[in-house]
A and B are shown apart, each in its own frame.
Chain A
Amino acid sequence: MNKLIKAIFILMLPLFAAPSALGDDRAVDLGLTPSPVYSLWTNINRAVIAYAGVRSNDKEWLKKLNSMEPNKFYNKVPADVLELVDEFSTKLNEVDEDGSIHASDTLLDGKLPNLLLSEDNRVTPSLVYLYSGQVLVNIAGDILHSSTTPIEISPFFVEYGFIGAPKTTSDVFGLVDLALRRLDEIVIRQKNDQLITGGGVQ
Chain B
Amino acid sequence: MIRALKTLTINRLGKWLAAFLILTAVVTIVTSGILIREITNLNTLWVSSERNITQKQVYLSVLRGSIGYGGMIHNFKNYLLRRESKYLLSAHRSMLEAKIIFSGYRALDISAEEESAISDIEAVAGEYMKAITRTELLINNNYVLSQIDQQVSVDDTPALLALRKLTNEVGALRQEKSKVVSGSIDSLAKTIYSSAIGIGLLLVIVILTLAWFLRFRLIKPLGKLVTAIGEVDPSAPGLHRIPSIGKIDDELGMVASATNRFLDSMENHLSSRRNAEKALGIAKEEAENANQAKSEFLSSMSHELRTPLNAILGFTQLLQFDPSTPLTDGQKDSTDQIIKGGNHLLELIDQVLELAKIEAGKISVSIEPVSIRQLIDESIVMVQTMAEKRNITIDVNTDNCPNVEVMADHTRLKQVLLNLLSNAVKYNNEGGSISIIARVEGDQFCNIAVTDTGNGIAEDQYSSVFKPFNRLGHETSEIEGTGIGLVITRKMMHIMKGEIGFESEVGKGTTFWVEIPLAAQSSLPTASKTTQAESNAVVMESAIGAEGEGYKVLYVEDNPANLMLMEKIIERMSGVDLISAHNAELGLEMAEAKHPDIILLDINLPGMDGYEALERLKVNEKTSSIPVIAVTAQATKADITRGRHAGFVSYITKPIQVPELIKAIEENLGTKE
A contacts, CB < 8 Å to B: 4, 8, 11-12, 15-16, 18-19, 22, 24, 26, 28-32, 36, 101, 107-108, 111-112, 115, 126, 129-130, 133-134, 136-137, 140-141, 144, 150-155, 157-159, 201-202
Contact of B62 among A4, A28, A112, A201 (CB under 8 A): A112
In the complex, the answer to whether B92 meets A140 with C-beta atoms within 8 Å is: yes
Contact of A115 among B41, B55, B88, B96 (CB under 8 A): B55
In the complex, the answer to whether A153 meets B92 with C-beta atoms within 8 Å is: yes
Contact of B58 among A31, A32, A112 (CB under 8 A): A112
Please name 25 pairs of A and B residues whose Cβ atoms are closer than 8 Å in the assembled complex, sorted by A: A8-B25, A15-B30, A15-B34, A22-B41, A24-B47, A29-B104, A29-B107, A30-B100, A30-B103, A30-B107, A31-B107, A32-B100, A101-B86, A107-B93, A108-B100, A112-B62, A115-B58, A129-B100, A134-B93, A141-B85, A141-B89, A152-B140, A157-B96, A158-B129, A201-B85
In the complex, the answer to whether A4 meets B22 with C-beta atoms within 8 Å is: yes
In the complex, the answer to whether B97 meets A157 with C-beta atoms within 8 Å is: no
Instruction: Name the B residues within 8 Å of A108 (CB-CB).
Output: 62, 97, 100-101
User: Which of B85, B88, B103 is the most central at the interface, judged by chain A CB atoms within 10 Å of its CB?
Assistant: B85
With A22-B44, A136-B96 given, can you name 12 additional A-B contacts, CB distance below 8 Å?
A: A11-B26, A12-B29, A15-B30, A26-B51, A28-B55, A30-B104, A107-B96, A108-B97, A133-B97, A137-B96, A150-B139, A154-B133
In the complex, the 5 A-B pairs of residues with the closest C-beta atoms, listed nearest first: A31-B107, A15-B33, A30-B104, A154-B133, A19-B40
Q: How many A-B contacts if CB must be within 8 Å?
A: 116
In the complex, the answer to whether A16 meets B100 with C-beta atoms within 8 Å is: no
Closest to B106 in A: A31
Closest to A133 in B: B96
Closest to B90 in A: A137
In the complex, the answer to whether B97 meets A152 with C-beta atoms within 8 Å is: no
Closest to B89 in A: A141
A158 to B635, CA, bound (A): 167
A151 to B104, CA, bound (A): 32
A32 to B99, CA, bound (A): 10
In the complex, the answer to whether B104 meets A126 with C-beta atoms within 8 Å is: yes
In the complex, the answer to whether B83 meets A154 with C-beta atoms within 8 Å is: no
Chain B's nearest CB lies how many Å from the CB of A136? Answer: 7
A11 to B27, CA, bound (A): 11
Chain A's nearest CB lies how many Å from the CB of B631? Answer: 106
In the complex, the answer to whether B92 meets A157 with C-beta atoms within 8 Å is: yes
Range, interface on chain B: 35 or more
In the complex, the answer to whether A202 meets B89 with C-beta atoms within 8 Å is: no
A151 to B136, CA, bound (A): 9
Instruction: Name the A residues within 8 Å of B104 (CB-CB).
Output: 29-31, 126
A22 to B46, CA, bound (A): 13
In the complex, the answer to whether B62 meets A202 with C-beta atoms within 8 Å is: no
Instruction: Name the B residues within 8 Å of A137 (CB-CB).
Output: 89, 92-93, 96
User: Which of B26, B34, B44, B103 is the most central at the interface, judged by chain A CB atoms within 10 Å of its CB?
Assistant: B103
A154 to B30, CA, bound (A): 64
In the complex, the answer to whether A22 meets B40 with C-beta atoms within 8 Å is: yes
A24 to B25, CA, bound (A): 30
Residue B84 at the chain A interface, CB threshold 8 Å = yes
Assess A154 versus B58: contact at CB under 8 Å? Given A31-B107, A126-B104.
no
Residue B196 at the chain A interface, CB threshold 8 Å = no
Closest to A32 in B: B103
Residue B238 at the chain A interface, CB threshold 8 Å = no
Assess A152 versus B36: contact at CB under 8 Å? Given A28-B55, A136-B96, A137-B89.
no
A42 to B522, CA, bound (A): 154
User: Which of B41, B93, B132, B136 is the most central at the interface, judged by chain A CB atoms within 10 Å of its CB?
Assistant: B93
Contact of A140 among B44, B55, B89 (CB under 8 A): B89
In the complex, the answer to whether B93 meets A8 with C-beta atoms within 8 Å is: no
In the complex, the answer to whether B100 meets A130 with C-beta atoms within 8 Å is: yes
What 1/0 mask marks residues of chain B from 436 to 468 whose CB sits below 8 Å from any chain A CB?
Answer: 000000000000000000000000000000000
Closest to A151 in B: B140
Instruction: Name the A residues within 8 Å of B133 (CB-CB).
Output: 152, 154-155, 158
